[in-house]
Every structure is written in C-alpha cells, then in structure tokens.
A and B are shown apart, each in its own frame.
Chain A
Amino acid sequence: MHLATKDLLRLATIGSVDDGKSTLIGRILVDTRQLFDDQLDAVAEASEKRGVGDLDLSFVTDGLRAEREQGITIDVAYRYASSPTRKFIIADCPGHVQYTANMATGASTADLALVVLDVASGLKEQTRRHLCIAALLGVRSIIVAVNKMDAVDWSKLAFDRVVDEIQALARDLDFTSASIIPVSALLGDNVVESSSHFPWYDGPTVLEALESSEAGTWEHTTTRGARLPIQWVLRQPGGGRTYAGMVNGDTFHVGDRVTLLPANIETTITAMNFGGEEITDATVGLAADVALAHETNAGRGDLIATAPLPSVVNELKTTICWFGVKPLVIGQRLKMKHTSKVTPVRVKTINGVIDIEKLDIDESTSLNTNDIGLATLQTADLLVVDDYRANRVTGSFVLIDEATNATVAAGMVGHASFL
C-alpha cells in the first residue's frame, strides 16, 4: 500500500448552540469510517447510559463529563480525518455565547469554516456573531450546512428562505466562497452520502465540498514580504550565530537582502538551516534558522523581513475580541504577546463596539465580555507589525492580564474592510 503525500486542511465548525455542529462532525467521522470500533462502542454505551437513543453522534466530540451531562459543547474538540490526498484537522467549536473565546481559539487557525444552522430558525444572533468573528479572523471561505432538513419535510421553500439570508450576510462579510448545502446530520443526508430527499439540489455533499476546498490558506493568505520573527538565537560551532523562527509571508532564500527590525539594519542571508542541516530556501511554515552577513545584537522579539517591509510602531489601531470578565476600559494596562515579543501596553482609546446585527460600529468607551470592538493601543516597546489582512502572524496578538497571566483578548492589527 502506498500512502500518498497529503496536504493539510484546517476547518472549524461554527454556529449557534443546538443547531447540530457536533452531530454533523460525528456523522462525517462515522460515515467516512474514521472512528475505531471501540470508540464507536463507547459512544453507543454513553448514549444508552444517558438515555439519548442508540447512538448520539455529538458524543463523538463532546468528550468531557460536563458536556455529556449538559448536552452541550464547552470547549473545542480537535478531531482528525484523512482522505487519500488530504489530512483534515477539525476544530469542533462550542456554540454558547459564554464560550466565544473557545470558538475563536478553534477558528483562529482555520482555512475554512463549516457553518451549521437549523433550517427552521435560520440565522440566529449567535450564528451571525460566529460568522462575524470568523470573517474578522480572516477565514475567507465557508461551507454552510443547512441542517435538520428532515424536520421540515425536506422543504425546498424552507431551504431557499435561509439561503437568501446567508448569501446576503456572506456578501456583507466579504467571504469569497460560500457553498450552501441542505443536510440532515441526524440521518446523514448530504453529509457523506448524497440523498434522494433533495431532487431539487444538485450541488456537492458536505464531504465533497470539504475535499474540493483550498487547503493551506491559513499560511498563505499573506500577500506581502517574507517574515521571520526571531524565537531563539542558536550558537554555531566556530562562533557564529543563527536566528531561529517560523517563516511566514513568503519564502526566504540564501542571498536575500533582508532588514532586521526594529533596529532597521539592512543585511543579507548568508546561510539557512533546518534541524541542523543546511538548506537553500525556507518556505512558509518552516521552523528554520538563518545566518546574517552583519554582526548584529538581534534576539528574541526582533524580526527579519524582505520588502515590502512591515511597520515599526509604538501605537496601533486594532480590532479586539475581549474575553475578560471585567470590562476593558480606557487607560487599562495589560501585557501584549505579539509574535515572539511580550511588551506592556496601555489602552489609549476605545473607538467603538461592533453591532453584530447591523455590522456597524456603535459608540462605546468600554468593551464587555465577548464584545468585539476597535481600540488604539500604546506599547512600551517598538513593535514590528503588518495589517492582519496582509499577514495573520505579524498582524495578530493576544492581551494578557498582568496579575493572573490569563489570556484576556485576541487582537488584530487594523480594521476589517466590512466595518
């Protein structure tokens, strides 16, 4: 048997609670035979014990005791599936508003969002919130499973009504592709197997849509120069140093003219290694280390870049998803982790909060838990940043509570175009 080289597609399920995200993922894994016999037996046993039928597919991913007791998803479950040419990393995200931070965790690395909604209720506020967060996080492509079609007698009318709503929102949020598929996750129609219940539908099943989606967009959404945030300095035998980090944005080559930032020193890459072996070029996603022609005192938190260069700033306009228990207010001090750099920051201004329904900015001088808003931050140290739309690595950061060290916000440099 030959196991082919595979690409990697990361997807996140999003949508409101009880619309069937976990059941859909369970259905995909069961119908593609990605589950082992003992795992399936365990799901059946747990279903019986809790009196929820022969096989509650949501138990495939809802693995925590509290989740099974309450019948909800609390935190992201990561599941893995593979086809002959593709490995899938599936983040099954929670739907409750109180677990928005966990949903954002799952969606932040996704190439694609698999949106699940109940045909009878259409786009709920929480589904809109999730779609908005996914769009802000840079997900460009969505597959929408319009679920529970069995409960509306497979009605085309019911489906079409939801389709119009989704298409309007997908346009507003600038998604580049949106496949909308009528399904029953419970019964399996149009998930892996196509269904005779939809004579009026000739599009792909969910699995077909997943297999034909573009992989690796997480790494490749960037359109500008190559970047290497320095994580660690390696001493080479004979006295030289190399700078280790993960490449993003574009490929580095030996001989490239590069700039070390924020020091703004122009130099050349003289050699590169991976795992102690020399290489000639380093592609996006590679954890490489590079040697520079000039002696520098570069270290962790500095960045090596090719043109067009990122900006060096100590004040930046950002989009913030606030997860803290107490509101974020003007003047508040926090720590920021941006690439490999940690620096103190202060909230200079809060420029409004996003109205999820209207996709407008409402005036506000604070952000409550799970609000998404716009804020200007001042940083103690110079930061080297790109706009998030151009580079997800150099354009993203988290905010950290100084006392507890908890991660209290996800932030993006700049504002989404739809705001």
Chain B
Amino acid sequence: MTTTPLRTSTTTDHLDLLESHAIFILREVVAECERPVLLFSGGKDSAVLLHLAVKAFAPQQLPFPVMHVDTGQNFPEVIDFRDTTVERVGARLVVAKVQDTIDQGKVQDPGAMGSRNRLQTVTLLDALNDNNFDAAFGGARRDEDKARAKERILSFRDTFGQWDPRKQRPELWQIYQGKVNPGESVRAFPLSDWTELDVWQYIEREQMALPEIYFAHDRDVVMRDGMYLAIGSFVEPRSDETVERLSVRFRTVGDANCTGAVISHAATLEAIINEVALANVSERGATRADDKFSETAMEDRKREGYF
C-alpha cells in the first residue's frame, strides 16, 4: 500500500481549509437529514461540490442522488459534461424538467426563445417535494451576490421553500443544525466562503474536468443588452443585430439565452486564473441578464425558493 503524505503536514493553506470545511458540512448534513440531494447543473461550482462530495464519502458511493433542474435551454456541452461526470462518479441522476412544469400548466410557457430562468423555482420546489428531499446541497457562494452574502451555510426553508432573511437561524462556530419539521427543508451551501478565484485555483490543483465552454474558443455571438449571447438553438440574431465571430469563454454557465460570454483568449486553467485575478467586472455582472432587472433581483428570487 502506498502512503501519500499530505501536501503540507504542518501548514495548511486557504484552499486546504476551505476544502475540509466543505467536506465537514457535507458529512454533517448527510448525517442529520433524512433525504439529501445535491443540485448539479454541470457548472464549475457544482462540479467542485460534487468532487468534494465524492471525497467526503470515499471509498463509499455517494449517499445521496444528484439532481439537475433542466430548463431545456442548456448548452449541449454542459449536458454532455453532466452525463459523463455523473456516470464517472456512479451517482444516481434525477432530472427535473421545466418543460414538465409548463406541460402541467403550472407556469406560463415563455415561448421558444423566452427565458425560463425564473420558472426553474417552481420545478425545483416540486421536485424537492415529490422526492421528499429535506436537504439540498447547492454550489452557491457568498461572493456572487449581496443577498447570497447574507445567507447562512445551512439555510432554513419553510414548507413553501421560501427563504426569510429576517428569520435566519443563528449559526455559531461550525455547528450546523439541520433539524426540520416535516415539509420544511434546508439548503446547504458548502462553498459559501469560496470566491470565484478559490474555485478556479482548486479546479487547477485537483486537475478537474469542466465543460469546454469555460475555455476560450471561437463562437458566433451577438451583442444584446450589453452582453455577448451565443447564437444557437435558443438565441437567433434579431434584424438589427450583427453576428460576430469572436474568441470568447463563459465565466458562468446558465441558460444559453441569458448567459453572456466574455471576450477571452484564456484557453487553459492557468490563463483563466490570471484572467479572474485581474477581472474588473463581477462574475454575475459580466454574464447574467437575470440579475440586472432590479436592485434586489437575487433576494426576491431566493425568497420565492430559488437555489
């Protein structure tokens, strides 16, 4: 049997501490809750979360399934990545489709090109209910948004899945208290204290795979609402828009019709880390149309039960 000494036995850097803290949270929630699930979109944050979950329970299988809330408007590269990753780690995948929610008449169909971003909340809450999931792990980070910056690591949700920022449980030390009554649930965010840069440094250190769209590539895009949108099944150029072929990458991965690309030549993890370290614009500011509607867009969606 080979023995691998820890990277550093006497000193631990910030990534080691963040990694162990996240693993600790994963184990704590699984021990305390009846039916946890890990929300996996195929984006970099949920990929890191899944990687940490595998580490937390190695050499055993993951003690919970993985769920994707599928808007049907994904980048195909991301769906490929989702499927290969889930298969590699041997997890059970639950796919909750926004299309089903539309077909059931619970939400209005926004049309082929319309955004389904907000509709996801209904699909998510239904899927959590239908499967009796009482804890959902998410890859959200507090540096992403000012409302997220206020949320506990274990975020209590009432029977409607709502977050009430005025009624958060005190969360002292590293005591994570996930006890809930039937119908209530918690969302758990093990990456709360990670920044975008931490995530990328960790991905490089662990040599993790990611969807190709995170790396610079040539793509046809149009400028719309101050963002470059990729031409594809969910975005067609309007008559007043000019299609350009540019070297771009995606800083976040959301729906193809509301996630902006950034101009970039960063084709390696090292180049991306340098780019992120020098960025002038935040991750969501650069890439998410859904956050630009109002001052408290994220808070409002979270109150409704969003991720």
Contacts and interface: CB of A to CB of B under 8 A. Distances in A.
Interface stretch (A150-158, A232-240, A260-268, A375-383): A232-240
Given A8-B17, A407-B171, A74 B165 contact: yes
Given A64-B147, A108-B172, A39 B2 contact: no
Contacts of B282: 36, 38-39
A342 B177 CA distance: 10
A297 interface: no
A246 B174 contact: yes
A76 B30 contact: no
A285 B17 contact: yes
A77 B28 contact: no
Contacts of A279: 3-6
B104 interface: no
A187 interface: no
Contacts of A64: 146-147, 150, 165, 296, 299
Contacts of B201: 3
B45 to A, nearest CB: 15
Contacts of A65: 295-296, 299
B207 interface: no
A75 B150 contact: yes
Interface in B147-184: 147, 149-150, 152, 165-166, 168-175, 177, 179-181
B31 A101 contact: no
Contact of B172 (A6, A104, A235, A275): A104
Contact of B177 (A234, A339, A400): A400
Contacts of A232: 27, 30-31, 57
B150 A63 contact: yes
A312 interface: no
- Interface size range of chain A in the complex: 35 or more
A231 B28 contact: yes
Nearest to A276: B58
A398 B170 contact: yes
A337 B176 CA distance: 9
Which of B143, B174, B197, B299 has the most A CB atoms < 10 Å from its CB?
B174
B180 to A, nearest CB: 6
B95 to A, nearest CB: 28
Contact of A75 (B23, B168, B295, B296): B168
Contacts of A108: 172-173
B173 A392 contact: yes
B20 A285 contact: yes
Interface stretch (B79-87, B122-130, B273-281): B273-281
A7 B20 contact: no
A8 B14 contact: yes
Contact of B10 (A8, A283, A393): A283
A36 B177 contact: no
B27 to A, nearest CB: 4
A78 B193 contact: yes
A33 B226 CA distance: 23
Interface string B36-60: 0000000000000000001111111
Contacts of B10: 283
Nearest to A86: B14
A329 interface: no
B interface secondary structure, majority: loop
Nearest to A409: B170
B9 interface: yes
A64 B90 CA distance: 40
B279 to A, nearest CB: 7
Contacts of A313: none
Contact of A42 (B149, B150, B295): B295
B55 A275 contact: yes
Contacts of A37: 280-281, 285
B146 A63 contact: yes
Contacts of B146: 61, 63-64, 77
B239 interface: no
A42 B179 CA distance: 37
A339 B192 CA distance: 21
B142 interface: yes
B186 to A, nearest CB: 10
B23 A398 contact: no
Contact of A76 (B20, B150, B180): B150
Interface in A54-95: 61, 63-66, 68, 74-80, 82, 87, 89
B52 to A, nearest CB: 8
B6 A75 contact: no
Contacts of B77: none
Contacts of A82: 195, 197
Interface string B187-211: 0000011010110010000000000
Contact of A63 (B4, B147, B152, B280): B147
12 contacts: A6-B13, A38-B286, A63-B150, A75-B150, A76-B150, A78-B142, A80-B142, A234-B58, A285-B20, A286-B20, A396-B172, A396-B173
Interface of B: 1-6, 9-10, 12-14, 16-17, 19-21, 23-24, 27-28, 30-31, 54-60, 142-143, 145-147, 149-150, 152, 165-166, 168-175, 177, 179-181, 192-193, 195, 197-198, 201, 273-274, 277, 279-282, 285-286, 295-296, 299
Given A38-B282, A77-B146, A406-B169, 9 more contacts: A5-B14, A36-B281, A38-B285, A77-B150, A244-B27, A283-B9, A286-B6, A323-B170, A405-B177
| 6 closest Cβ pairs, A-B complex | A63-B146, A276-B58, A38-B285, A275-B55, A287-B23, A36-B282
